[in-house]
A and B are shown apart, each in its own frame.
Chain A
């Protein structure tokens, strides 16, 4: 039985969440601050990524080298990422090292030096990452699919754009960190073995004197474009397909998620069976549910050699359309078994749990326990999923391809 979720809301808006896992040797943390790519001014794609990079190059009493050395000595396995809404810093380490690790990241949030002598190196690192996407056709097609399908600013590539990265100034980065590394909208999740009061005290010190900032509205616009082909010299053609779904907070989310599970969970799923197992059309094919706070999408991917790409697209879209006709009881049984074991196994990963705490809070404003999620999954039936699918059939596909030749959109789809 999982332990209850602990939480502490600070006056400045920051929320701290904790899930004790007493059997763990480790503790993990996920820190999200509202400095994601959606908040970048138009034409400044990469400002969040560059700010996040520079913030880790010296903070408080530590210079860039001490920051890395201290975290390494604490054995913190770590990552920093930028998503649409957040800059995130996450890490896992031996339980006894959690508090000093949080203190170091507290300095990143509050006392980033943003030093001039590190600025060009930080810019170069961000540019390297943007360049590397050019050689990764599978990633490239999915980035373009998101850009087309999701309304701006939610579909932005969080790594940014080359031209913008080349022209962003240090003052812009300093201004961005000043305004976006804010407590309101910031979430800290910790999971594993820890002393809750000590964690609360540590985060209180981080929050000391950290002021709330005014919320700002995000202006949403859509490209309206639903088809694109990118010419690329390669053996394989990459195919990305997207359609609308419901968000994580929607009461129907588990119906939508379950339907995608039937499409693409496990090797007996429909896409794997029809596209790969029966026809041998490709090595990789999948569909995944993608949620924003207020809308959701399903994103599908297949990569296949150019001469079989048209058939792959046709068969994949055929399966998406067939989904609207409903799922079978045996498919539901497998879906539930897979989710149930995944939920149990999540308890064995402090990193997975700390990430889930922060994610739930952002999307729901509260945290679902694994037990609660389990009950929602138990409540799924073929009827509930099929009613959902009848009301929300996969349609209005956005299709992006990348390869030597463009493909024809299958007949009969809008």
Chain B
């Protein structure tokens, strides 16, 4: 296992973890752009653009792009988040050059108006699909409230209105500004030929023009609140809660992950034993998500509407209890065992390593081996977790509940 890195003269960085024992490889372009980089008049453009990137280039049609990926037998896709847009392919090593040539080409898309009009329909369908699915938009609403006035509160999907009115020239302008080579990393993992990767990246991406693509990473000021939204035709009640947590650059983010595992993992956690195991809720969990400048603890709960108020109170009581008394050494040990196993399992496939590598690089320009992550998890102490709870109390949060109930009492 060897880490390699190289920077092109235009600022594009190439990083790879080369594992000659792997059967396959994965590669992708990690672009540091997402919903937080959008002005309100183009809400949803990052995600819409992600779709448009597959719609052809100066020398390829949309059909060509799809066909050529499939000819390689590539497992390829893309996703957009609050702060990054990622285009990737998992392939057999013999296709490294073909896959890079194609991925690099689509990174300079044609953005043709007729494709834009058709694809807009697909995006509007995607937005409607999420409106019909739990948690029925409550996640976006909770984020918008929690990060009021800060770009992290912006929706990745946008709305039917914002996407519906978006003209193609605004997307083109956004692309020009954000897809600067300095804002992009080419990441690879698995059975990678790094020298060949750099040579081809230089040829394919060397003429991409550098632009200023700075981002506002000022920490969001905290907001809290409680909202209940009535939604007809829904059976269960859903609750989303956001609380502040360590950011992607904070040293205590590992303690935060262990805390979330102890308190709210899918199995064996405090929320599991008190709410899921007895069958009081269909689902209750706590997770930690980190961004540049901000982090958040994310609570998700679903249950019968008549039980929602009581269950929210149970969650709050559990949070207050852990804030007051901390976690036990035994709980910490169990959480470490779980996370260590997950780290190893998710690292067995090159595509698992790709996302880890890409996230670390785009957040911190840092390479971390599997062992680095395992060591960081092992080093966390009960005291460090107590310090996280003191700095970021779980009980202070923004809550949105959505479901058939017009009113749900806020926990006290």
Residues of B within 8 A of A276 (CB): 122
B233 touches A232 (CB 8 A): yes
User: B67-78 vs A: 1/0 string, CB under 8 Å?
Assistant: 101111111100
B345 touches A92 (CB 8 A): yes
Instruction: State in angstroms the CA–CA spacing of A265 and B69 once bound together.
Output: 12
Instruction: State in angstroms the CA–CA spacing of A342 and B72 once bound together.
Output: 11
Contact A344/B119 with A68-B267, A305-B128, A350-B348 known, Cβ cut-off 8 Å: no
A341 touches B75 (CB 8 A): yes
Q: Nearest-CB distance from A202 to chain B (Å)?
A: 19
Residues of B within 8 A of A131 (CB): 235-236, 282, 304
B235 touches A134 (CB 8 A): yes
Residue of A whose beta carbon sits closest to that of B347: A25
Residue of A whose beta carbon sits closest to that of B74: A341
Instruction: State in angstroms the CA–CA spacing of A277 and B121 once bound together.
Output: 10
A234 touches B233 (CB 8 A): yes
Instruction: State in angstroms the CA–CA spacing of A257 and B403 once bound together.
Output: 41
B312 at the interface (CB under 8 A from A): no
A266 touches B69 (CB 8 A): yes
Instruction: State in angstroms the CA–CA spacing of A176 and B21 once bound together.
Output: 47
CB within 8 Å of A: which B19-46 residues = 21-24
Instruction: State in angstroms the CA–CA spacing of A77 and B265 once bound together.
Output: 12
B279 at the interface (CB under 8 A from A): yes
B134 touches A135 (CB 8 A): yes
Residues of B within 8 A of A233 (CB): 232-233
Contact A339/B24 with A68-B267, A128-B282, A129-B282 known, Cβ cut-off 8 Å: no
Residues of A within 8 A of B277 (CB): 64, 121, 125
B24 touches A134 (CB 8 A): no
B23 touches A135 (CB 8 A): no
4 nearest A-B residue pairs (beta carbon): A124-B279, A75-B341, A233-B233, A280-B121
Q: Nearest-CB distance from A105 to chain B (Å)?
A: 15
Which of A24, A76, A281 is in CB contact (< 8 Å) with B121? Answer: A281
Instruction: State in angstroms the CA–CA spacing of A304 and B132 once bound together.
Output: 11
CB within 8 Å of B: which A23-58 residues = 23-26
A236 at the interface (CB under 8 A from B): yes
Which of A127, A134, A347 is in CB contact (< 8 Å) with B23? Answer: A347
Show 30 A/B contacts (Cβ-Cβ < 8 Å), sorted by A: A26-B345, A64-B277, A69-B334, A72-B334, A77-B342, A93-B341, A93-B345, A124-B279, A128-B281, A131-B282, A131-B304, A132-B134, A132-B236, A132-B283, A134-B235, A136-B133, A136-B134, A233-B232, A235-B132, A276-B122, A277-B118, A278-B118, A280-B121, A282-B122, A334-B71, A341-B74, A342-B73, A342-B75, A345-B23, A348-B349
A348 touches B344 (CB 8 A): no
Interface size on B, residues (CB 8 A): 66
User: B83-106 vs A: 1/0 string, CB under 8 Å?
Assistant: 000000011100000000000000
A283 at the interface (CB under 8 A from B): yes
B70 touches A135 (CB 8 A): no
Residues of A within 8 A of B72 (CB): 337, 341
Further pairs besides A121-B277, A127-B279, A282-B125: 17, Cβ < 8 Å:
A69-B334, A72-B338, A73-B334, A75-B341, A128-B279, A132-B283, A137-B132, A137-B133, A232-B233, A233-B232, A273-B63, A280-B122, A282-B122, A303-B125, A305-B128, A334-B73, A342-B73
Contact A266/B128 with A65-B273, A128-B282 known, Cβ cut-off 8 Å: no
Residue of B whose beta carbon sits closest to that of A139: B133
B73 touches A337 (CB 8 A): yes
Q: Nearest-CB distance from A260 to chain B (Å)?
A: 15
B278 touches A124 (CB 8 A): yes
Residue of A whose beta carbon sits closest to that of B349: A348
A267 at the interface (CB under 8 A from B): yes
Residues of A within 8 A of B156 (CB): none
A366 at the interface (CB under 8 A from B): no
Which of A24, A284, A344 is in CB contact (< 8 Å) with B24? Answer: A344
Instruction: State in angstroms the CA–CA spacing of A217 and B236 once bound together.
Output: 39
B140 at the interface (CB under 8 A from A): no
B109 at the interface (CB under 8 A from A): no
B131 at the interface (CB under 8 A from A): yes
CB within 8 Å of B: which A100-146 residues = 120-125, 127-129, 131-132, 134-138
B303 at the interface (CB under 8 A from A): yes
Contact A341/B73 with A132-B236, A236-B129, A283-B122 known, Cβ cut-off 8 Å: yes
A236 touches B73 (CB 8 A): no
Q: Nearest-CB distance from A136 to chain B (Å)?
A: 7
CB within 8 Å of A: which B358-379 residues = none
A236 touches B128 (CB 8 A): yes
User: A367-388 vs B: 1/0 string, CB under 8 Å?
Assistant: 0000000000000000000000
Residues of A within 8 A of B131 (CB): 235
B344 touches A25 (CB 8 A): yes
Which of B67, B73, B278, B348 is in CB contact (< 8 Å) with A340? Answer: B73
Instruction: State in angstroms the CA–CA spacing of A266 and B73 once bound together.
Output: 8
Residue of B whose beta carbon sits closest to that of A306: B128
Instruction: State in angstroms the CA–CA spacing of A281 and B128 once bound together.
Output: 12
A315 at the interface (CB under 8 A from B): no
User: B121-142 vs A: 1/0 string, CB under 8 Å?
Assistant: 1101110110111100000000
A345 touches B70 (CB 8 A): no
Residue of B whose beta carbon sits closest to that of A304: B125
A204 at the interface (CB under 8 A from B): no
Instruction: State in angstroms the CA–CA spacing of A69 and B328 once bound together.
Output: 14
Residue of A whose beta carbon sits closest to that of B333: A73
Contact A348/B118 with A283-B129, A337-B71, A341-B72 known, Cβ cut-off 8 Å: no
A94 at the interface (CB under 8 A from B): yes
Contact A349/B66 with A134-B236, A282-B125, A283-B129 known, Cβ cut-off 8 Å: no
Residues of B within 8 A of A303 (CB): 125, 129
B122 touches A121 (CB 8 A): no
Q: Nearest-CB distance from B265 to chain A (Å)?
A: 8
Instruction: State in angstroms the CA–CA spacing of A137 and B119 once bound together.
Output: 24
B381 at the interface (CB under 8 A from A): no
